[in-house]
Amino acid sequence: MSRLTSRTALITGAASGIGLAVASRFAREGARVVIADRDSGAARTAAESITAESGPGTARAVTVDIADEAAVESAFAELAAADWTPDVVIANAGVQLFGQDAKIAEVDLEVWQRTVDVNLTGTFLTVKHAVRSMLATGGGSIVITGSPTGLSGEGNDFTAYATTKAGLHGLTRTVAAAYAADGIRVNAVIPAYTETPLVTTISDDPEERSAIVSRIPLGRAGTPQDVEGIMVFLASDDSAFATGSLFAVDGGMTAL
């Protein structure tokens, strides 16, 4: 368990769900991890529990709202000043506004805007400043968390969310092509329905939950731990020849 020794990884949205599982696993694989989240209390708690598990100096928390460019820029500056410049950035933070995001005729502009601000603009800002930082240090690996809703009409009940995720798949390819020669790789991971605090609206509703699980060939919901392995692969040199690709970890959902 030391595939990420001497790496420093910044993970947005790491105070909860998929990001938290990935951060804990990265620390167990030998990386130093930065828990970057707008929820400062939860980010601190996550960093403390990872430090307790993986040892002193393995995790630190940074409070950042990824939709705020000044905050993103200052997070990277703070890490550089502390000699924690990341060579891996997992652009994972995102929102899905259950009960408000819907089929397009029912979507308020404000709901659209809030979703775009975090998922699309926030990820754009995370990746922009990750690339600037990696250009200065000689390269690195960036992974964006996408979604099956951005691949097909699967997410038609969530117009804003699905559209932002489709945009992120495009961002992955565009940035990968632009910076491959600089040693910066960019890939996306596409989890299917994964039980985290984001989707409690679904997991608390047995009928909706089983309707979704019935569309997953492996016959179960994903867990945050299901996403860890592909993230370790993409963060490590094992994936040295992979860039601009979308990797589904979805129990076969997008194969249908």
Ligand X SMILES: NC(=O)c1ccc[n+]([C@@H]2O[C@H](COP(=O)([O-])OP(=O)(O)OC[C@H]3O[C@@H](n4cnc5c(N)ncnc54)[C@H](O)[C@@H]3O)[C@@H](O)[C@H]2O)c1
Footprint of ligand X (CB under 6 A):
12-13, 15-19, 37-39, 64-67, 92-96, 118, 122, 145, 147, 191, 193-194, 196-199
Task: Provide the minimum distance between the beta carbon of 44 and ligand X in the complex, in angstroms, as a whole number.
Answer: 12
Considering the complex, state which of residue 88 and residue 118 has its C-beta at the smaller distance from ligand X: 118
Considering the complex, state which of residue 84 and residue 154 has its C-beta at the smaller distance from ligand X: 154
Q: Examine the residue annotation and report whether 179 is marked as an active-site residue of this protein.
A: no
Q: How many angstroms separate the CA atoms of 118 and 215, rounded?
A: 28
Select which of 161, 179, 193, 247 is catalytic.
161
Which residue, among 232, 212, 208, has the nearest Cα to 222 in the 3D structure? 212
Considering the complex, state which of residue 172 and residue 194 has its C-beta at the smaller distance from ligand X: 194
- Identify whether the C-beta of residue 127 lies closer than 8 Å to the C-beta of residue 144: yes
Task: Provide the minimum distance between the beta carbon of 180 and ligand X in the complex, in angstroms, as a whole number.
Answer: 24
Task: Provide the minimum distance between the beta carbon of 18 and ligand X in the complex, in angstroms, as a whole number.
Answer: 4
Considering the complex, state which of residue 180 and residue 198 has its C-beta at the smaller distance from ligand X: 198
Task: Provide the minimum distance between the beta carbon of 43 and ligand X in the complex, in angstroms, as a whole number.
Answer: 8
The tokens describing 154, both together, are: 């699967």
Task: Provide the minimum distance between the beta carbon of 146 and ligand X in the complex, in angstroms, as a whole number.
Answer: 7
Considering the complex, state which of residue 7 and residue 38 has its C-beta at the smaller distance from ligand X: 38
Active-site amino acid positions: 161
